[in-house]
Amino acid sequence: MFRPEAPGEHIERHVEAVIEELVAELDHWSRTDPVPEGADDRAYVQAFSDARENSDRDQVTLLHAAVARPHLAEALIQRNRRMDREDLDPGHPAGVIGVIVRLAMDGLWVSDILDATRFDEAQRRRIIGILTGLTHLTDERLEGLLAEVVPGEQPD
């Protein structure tokens, strides 16, 4: 992507621009979602659902920024922290499921970068469909489902 002699500040400006564009897309997708609850999380799933298909965004650059130079990803980090605060607030109806969905998407995204053939298209659609579906659950409904699956144990 960059020539070996490319100045570091040029690379950093590019990475910041990629991150800022991603955050703008996330905001747009969230605002245009017809169902407000879970919209941020569905936007996140959409943005990170397939590194192979995101040819307009350099996925490896994003991963490198997240690991080696997190200050370049400040806009995305701040957006994620805002969503975490909202989702972990006991008064938020959707709640912790959003955090779980985003963490799962982070894992799928990294998996795609490391091994683009890990899942076939049908498996990928199923995974994305389930994660998207989870964004419509509330904490109350999730706790009910967990009580059915693990009798006698209640989530904290």
What are the domain boundaries of the chain? 8-149
- Range of weakest confidence among 7-16, 68-77, 119-128: 7-16
**For the residues 116-135, what does the mean pLDDT come to?**
93
Select the more confidently predicted residue: 93 or 144. Answer: 144
| Mean of per-residue pLDDT scores for the chain | 81
The one-letter code for the residue type at 30 is: S
Contacts (Cβ under 8 Å, ≥6 apart) of 9: none
In this structure, are residues 93 and 37 in contact, taking their beta carbons and an 8 Å threshold? yes
3-state secondary structure of 43: helix
Q: Which two tokens stand for residue 40?
A: 């941020």
Give yes or no for residue 42 having a pLDDT over 60: yes
- Residue 102 burial (10 A CB sphere; 0-12, 13-18, 19+): buried
Task: Give the whole-angstrom CA distance, residue 47 versus residue 1.
Answer: 21
Give yes or no for residue 56 having a pLDDT over 60: no
Select the more confidently predicted residue: 144 or 94. Answer: 144
Q: Which two tokens stand for residue 17?
A: 């621009």
**pTM, full prediction:** 0.78
CATH fold label, 8-149: Tetracycline Repressor; domain 2 (1.10.357)
pLDDT of residue 28: 94
Q: What CA dihedral angle connects 138, 139, 140 and 145, to 10 degrees?
A: 90
**For the residues 120-149, what does the mean pLDDT come to?**
88
pLDDT of residue 2: 45
- Range of weakest confidence among 54-58, 66-70, 71-75: 54-58
Select the more confidently predicted residue: 66 or 40. Answer: 40
